[in-house]
Structures are given as C-alpha cells and as structure tokens.
Amino acid sequence: MDVFNTCFLTQAIIFVNTKGDCEFVQNTLRKNNYKSSIMHSFMSKEERDLVMDKLRKLEVNVIIATNMLTDFARYINVPEIEIMINFDVPTVELSNG
C-alpha cells in the first residue's frame, strides 16, 4: 500500500490472483481510508458494470480485480485511472490481440 502513500493517486486498478486476495487487499485499503470495490469472475456482467460505474462516478478510488479479468483491462475506458498494479504475479497468460 506504500504506492498510495508516496504518490497522490486519484484512481487505480489492482490485479490479484484470487477472490480471497481481493478481499484481503480491500480490507487493507479500507483500514487506510481508501474507497474501493472488488471485481472478480464470479460476478455477473451487471455487477461488474456497477463497479465500473462507481469508478467512473468517482465513488471509489480503487478497484481490486482478479487476474482472470486481466484481458478485460485492455478494454477499460476510464481516463481517470492513473495506474494498474499487479499485486501478485499473474498466473494466467495474456492473449495476443
């Protein structure tokens, strides 16, 4: 979490390996007063869209997402996102495209 303390970031996406890691990182961020939401592959498209809407409306600063959604990151169109962080080493290979 030091990256948030050393840099002034308005919004970011953090990629982790598991849903459990999502919850761990979110709890840590919340303890440090960061507004965050989780996004993982067990969520419906509608639920993921709601999370993205919160980010676009600046209701959350950080999305914590599983690496299963890494390919999805290529299509995120939120100009306010300043950084995408791999919290864990990715376990899935990105597709070429």
What CATH number belongs to 2-86? 3.40.50.300
Per-residue pLDDT of the chain (97 residues; tens, 9 = 90+): 555 555 556 788 888 988 899 999 999 988 988 899 998 888 888 998 898 889 888 899 899 988 665 555 555 666 667 777 888 765 655 555 4
The region that residue 82 occupies, defined by phi over 0 for left and psi between -120 and 50 for alpha, beta otherwise, is alpha
* Residue 62 · residue 1 · CB < 8 Å: no
Measured distance CA(13)–CA(34) in Å, rounded: 12
Q: Position 60: which residue type?
A: V
For the chain, the domains span: 2-86
pLDDT of residue 86: 81
Q: State the pTM of this model.
A: 0.75
Q: Where are the alpha helices (DSSP H) in 33-79?
A: 45-56
pLDDT of residue 96: 53
Secondary-structure breakdown of the chain: helix, strand, coil percentages, each rounded to the nearest 5 = 40, 20, 40
pLDDT of residue 73: 57
